[in-house]
Amino acid sequence: MSPLQTIGIICFVIITLWLGVQITVLNTCLHAKRHVPTNLHILCQKEENYLLLRVFDLVKNEPQCTKLVKTLQKSVNAYDSRPRIFIVTPTYARPVQKAELTRLSHTLLLVPNIHWIVIEDSENKTSLVTNFLSKSRISFTHLNVPTPLPMKMKKEDPNWLKPRGVLQRNAGLSWIRKHVDPEEQGVVYFADDDNTYDLDLFEEMRYTQTVSVWPVGLVGGLMVEKPLVENGKVVGWNTVWKADRPFPIDMAGFAVNVSLLIHHRRAAFSLAVARGYQESKLLGDLVTINHLEPKADNCTKVLVWHTRTEYPKLKQERKLSVPSNVGIEV
Ligand code: UGA
Ligand code: MN
């Protein structure tokens, strides 16, 4: 074989190999284009919280790393362009408290860019809630304020049945006014610890400009209580229970723009209003019906349910001389 032929064969082999590689690469690209979803960045955004959770899980026994990941989570939240949701939750000690908080926290873990303000109805912060929050992996603030006892005990007048969460939500509002930048894009939502929340609800409320409203399931003696909407405007309500309320809506059925709340410094809940009028008190301090923004497809979808947990049967417990939960938190 002449040297020219040898060079020729070598060149042929190299070119064939090179072409082979090129075709494989091209094929992979074509394949990728067909099979990699075009909305990859949207998927990544959805997965972001889940990924952080995974990272937390991996480093949970490394205190140094946990600190680092918490800082990372803060910066992820800070750089998140979506408005932040401040979730205000009053809570009080009873047998189902930890179960309720666990369930709610698992919903909130799936919602990006939130800050959870949990206010205990108690003289002091309890170790149950303190420990629960510190392991919750959610960005939180822990506050406490007791409901005055005489208020809780005014049982003779049905309208005055113990006020639930009133001072606690006000404490949440004060914290927000003190710590949140009035120009921050965000929204405040009053999420009781026992309701059931669809994840879509949080994305509906996130871009609230003034006050947004939507239907609430299983409340007010109805399957659903909802704002009535005509041409994209709230024109009334389908409420039956205390229908004369200025805003006949449940606490779970609205969210407020954070700047609006901060700028209306006196807007608050009040111990001086009758049962069922808390929502009207706060909303009356902030807006009129014309300002309301209907969400959830013009109030045609139920994304939150006013579920209430049955009080557990503890008949056997009362017979015990030593409680079953000595030394074990339930
Ligand atoms: C309904 C509304 O959905 C509540 O938002 C409203 O506060 C309440 O009526 C009322 O004003 O009476 P309901 O299911 O009857 O709710 O009330 P709860 O779920 O028992 O309490 C509302 C919130 O306040 C819960 O997060 C609960 O943990 C808290 N709460 C309740 C306290 O902080 N202290 C209490 O003594 C009782
Ligand atoms: Mn409730």
Q: What is the pLDDT of residues 223-247, one digit of tens each?
A: 999 999 999 999 999 999 999 999 9
The SS3 assignment for 271 reads coil
Q: Is 157 annotated as a binding residue?
A: no
Candidates 120, 225, 279, 293; catalytic one: 279
Distance, in Å, from the CA atom of 15 to the CA atom of 18, rounded to the nearest integer, reads: 5
pLDDT value at 32 more than 80: no
Residue 265 marked in a binding site: no
Pocket of ligand 1 (CB under 6 A): 89-92, 121, 147, 162, 164-165, 168, 192-194, 250-251, 275, 278, 306, 308
pLDDT of residue 23: 80
Nearest CA owner, ligand 1 atom 35: 164
The rounded mean pLDDT for the chain is 89
Protein residue whose Cα sits closest to atom 4 of ligand 1: 251
Q: Which helix (H) or strand (E) holds 16?
A: helix 3-35
Considering only CA atoms, which of 321, 306, 253 is closest in space to residue 282?
253
- With a cut of 60, say whether residue 155 has pLDDT above it: no
- Taking alpha carbons only, the member of 245, 198, 242, 235 closest to residue 217 is 198
pLDDT score for 48: 58
Q: How far is the CA of 219 from the centre of ligand 2 (A)?
A: 10
Q: What is the pLDDT, as a whole number, of residue 47?
A: 56
If pLDDT is split at 50, 70 and 90, which confidence band does 68 have?
A: confident
Of 46-50, 116-120, 265-269, the range with the lowest mean pLDDT is 46-50
Q: What is the pTM of this model?
A: 0.81
Structure-model confidence comparison of residues 70 and 258, the more confident one: 258
Contact 86, 180 (CB under 8 A): yes
Query: Residue 166 CB: number of other CB atoms within 10 A?
Result: 22
Mutate to test the pocket of ligand 1, among 98, 108, 164, 241 (most ligand atoms within 8 A of CB): 164
